[in-house]
Chain A
Amino acid sequence: NAGVTQTPKFQVLKTGQSMTLQCAQDMNHEYMSWYRQDPGMGLRLIHYSVGAGITDQGEVPNGYNVSRSTTEDFPLRLLSAAPSQTSVYFCASSGQGGHYGYTFGSGTRLTVV
């Protein structure tokens, strides 16, 4: 099984550009989440989904959009990139929400210049 696949692994954007970070899982997990990781800050929740068609905001949602049209895919869209969005982004999924462990992707390192 591939688990959680994130693409791209690296990306450089100019301020104001938009892009979509892709996340796909092949474990039929209902719960999916997006986190950003900044030095000294740990991981912070951006958006999450508890099933196809259901999404909600996390701790730091501003500047990001999500949608969940299928169980497998949970893309994260940056609407107008800002230098403050320079970070490493992780997607994670779980079959039972937080009642069991989450499986994480390998991350997307994004730099906004």
Chain B
Amino acid sequence: SQQGEEDPQALSIQEGENATMNCSYKTSINNLQWYRQNSGRGLVHLILIRSNEREKHSGRLRVTLDTSKKSSSLLITASRAADTASYFCATVGNSGYSTLTFGKGTMLLVSP
């Protein structure tokens, strides 16, 4: 079953604006990862945040994690048209082998 649920399902913004996507999950995790998928392409790993971390930055990306609320957010600052893509959160659990459990994704459209 799906572990994560992204919110919103779709987001449309103008270039230069910030985009925020949220992810909620159900069970305890080892880490949470965000991936980007351009239309018709494979997924690209963006950033990983571990369960003992609260915030992480990578370039224009900022990820937060609140394990008490079982939620994460991905902020893309100063969005560009090239950021147009679907964004997925994926969790890695604490038990068993380290496979990814994905949410359904957020479609981001950045208009010039």
Contacts and interface: CB of A to CB of B under 8 A. Distances in A.
A83 to B, nearest CB: 22
- Per DSSP, chain B at the interface is strand
- Per DSSP, chain A at the interface is strand
Contacts of A96: 98
A89 B45 CA distance: 17
Contacts of A48: 97, 99
Contacts of B103: 42
A34 to B, nearest CB: 11
Given A41-B104, A42-B105, A98-B30, A103 B45 contact: yes
B104 A98 contact: no
A52 to B, nearest CB: 15
- Give the bracket for the number of chain B residues in contact with chain A: 20 to 34
Interface stretch (A12-20, A61-69, A70-78, A104-112): A104-112
B38 to A, nearest CB: 10
Contact of A100 (B43, B48, B101): B48
Interface of A: 4, 31, 33, 35, 40-45, 48, 50, 56, 58-59, 90, 92, 94, 96-107
